[in-house]
């Protein structure tokens, strides 16, 4: 895509998460711990699901893809933030900023759609069990996976296309520790009212609708399960509870960031930090800790490789 000639800004200065050296050190250690412990755990989830023949159900197929998406998502912001903590001047080029913004919304949009697909999977499994093997066959699972990747790409490319049409003449200080739509738009040297409305519609409204739709679908599932006397009642309730926790962790901060006019609030940086760095690493781990089959398979996998 061609960048507008009226853009003279070649780089942005990131003001960072905090100006306090002690706070920066604390966050640096926190993120590093998350990376050294939880990120390998996400890859272990992927390897476990791919290597165990007993984990071939669509639920585990989508869980493996969630771990992959979250692991990939965690590489967009956190590594650069760790490097910036050790740098006196935090600078990102215009092109790198646009690239970061693209992948942030590409993978984030794809993950939001994946959670919708996982809700659909649970609805069919619990409310329409006789049709489950027919509806959620391998071809349908791969088609849904392709659709969510395509949906994430379309969502992100719209964001990037709107940003690329804006002229940036200065100033070039971003009030954050990474490039995202609200902060970048504020620096454009033109009226951005229409662009902001389009951005809110593309990100905010879509996020809110997905969130409400997911809550409604899981409410239906929980009501259906509570009225059942089957042996799998507790397991189904546990699975749905886990999914709802992930939905709240992901969509709560996203709604706070994207469903309002692009104005600065004191909590913006903290919410963005948890949304882009902490929660993506935790999501698959929360799923795994509440899934007995995956935990058992993971223990067998580790015992084979550790004691062989």
Query: 3-state DSSP call for residue 13?
Result: strand
Burial class (CB in 10 A: 0-12, 13-18, 19+), 193: exposed
Residue whose C-alpha is closest to residue 204's, from 103, 105, 96: 105
d(CA 295, CA 236): 17
pLDDT value, residue 201: 84
Q: Within the chain, which residues score under 50 in pLDDT?
A: 1-5
Q: Which of 66, 44, 64 is nearest to 299 (CA)?
A: 44
What is the maximum span of the chain, computed from C-alpha positions, in angstroms?
Answer: 67
Cα–Cα distance, 240 to 220 (Å, whole number): 11
- Do the beta carbons of residue 119 and residue 214 sit within 8 Å? yes
Sheet holding 11-14, edge to edge: 91-93, 11-14, 173-174
CA dihedral 83, 87, 92, 97 (to 10 degrees): 30
Give the single-character DSSP code of 129.
Answer: G
Average pLDDT, the chain: 84
> Residue 78: CB partners within 8 Å, gap ≥ 6?
31, 35, 276, 277
Extract the runs of DSSP E, i.e. beta strands, from the chain.
11-14, 91-93, 173-174
Nearest Cα neighbor of 254 from 239, 276, 277, 223 is 276
Map out the domains of the chain as residue ranges: 11-301
Query: Which tokens belong to 80?
Result: 């650069």
- Angle (CA) 13-105-139 rounded to 5° is 155
pLDDT reported for residue 137: 93
Q: Residue 275 gets which letter from DSSP?
A: I
Q: What is the CATH number of domain 11-301?
A: 1.20.1070.10
Is-contact 85 28, C-beta < 8 A? yes
Closest CA to 120 of 142, 150, 141, 151: 141
Nearest by Cα to 76 from 40, 102, 38? 102
Q: What is the pLDDT of residue 3?
A: 44
């Amino acid at each position: 895509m061609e960048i507008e000639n009226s853009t003279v800004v070649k780089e942005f200065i990131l003001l960072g998460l905090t100006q306090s050296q002690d706070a920066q050190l604390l966050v640096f250690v926190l993120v590093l711990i998350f990376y050294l412990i939880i990120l390998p755990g996400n890859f272990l989830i992927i390897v476990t699901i791919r290597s165990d023949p007993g984990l071939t159900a669509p639920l585990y197929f989508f869980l493996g893809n969630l771990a992959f998406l979250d692991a990939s998502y965690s590489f967009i912001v956190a590594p650069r933030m760790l490097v910036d903590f050790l740098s006196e001047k935090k600078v990102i080029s215009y092109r790198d900023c646009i690239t970061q913004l693209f992948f942030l919304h590409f993978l984030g949009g794809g993950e939001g759609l994946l959670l919708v697909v996982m809700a659909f999977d649970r609805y069919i499994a619990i409310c329409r069990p006789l049709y489950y093997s027919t509806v959620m066959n391998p071809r349908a699972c791969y088609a849904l996976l392709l659709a969510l990747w395509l949906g994430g790409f379309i969502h992100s490319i719209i964001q990037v296309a709107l940003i690329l049409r804006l002229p940036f003449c200065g100033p070039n200080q971003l009030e954050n520790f990474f490039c995202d739509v609200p902060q970048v738009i504020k620096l454009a040297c033109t009226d951005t009212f229409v662009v902001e409305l389009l951005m809110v519609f593309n990100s905010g409204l879509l996020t809110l609708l997905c969130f409400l739709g997911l809550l409604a679908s899981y409410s239906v599932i929980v009501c259906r399960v509570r009225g059942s006397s089957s042996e799998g009642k507790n397991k189904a309730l546990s699975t749905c509870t886990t999914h709802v926790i992930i939905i709240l962790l992901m969509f709560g901060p996203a709604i706070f960031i994207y469903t309002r006019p692009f104005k600065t609030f004191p909590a913006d940086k903290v919410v963005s930090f948890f949304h882009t760095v902490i929660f993506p690493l935790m999501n698959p781990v929360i799923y795994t800790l509440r899934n007995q089959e995956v935990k058992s398979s993971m223990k067998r996998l580790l015992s084979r490789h550790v004691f062989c």
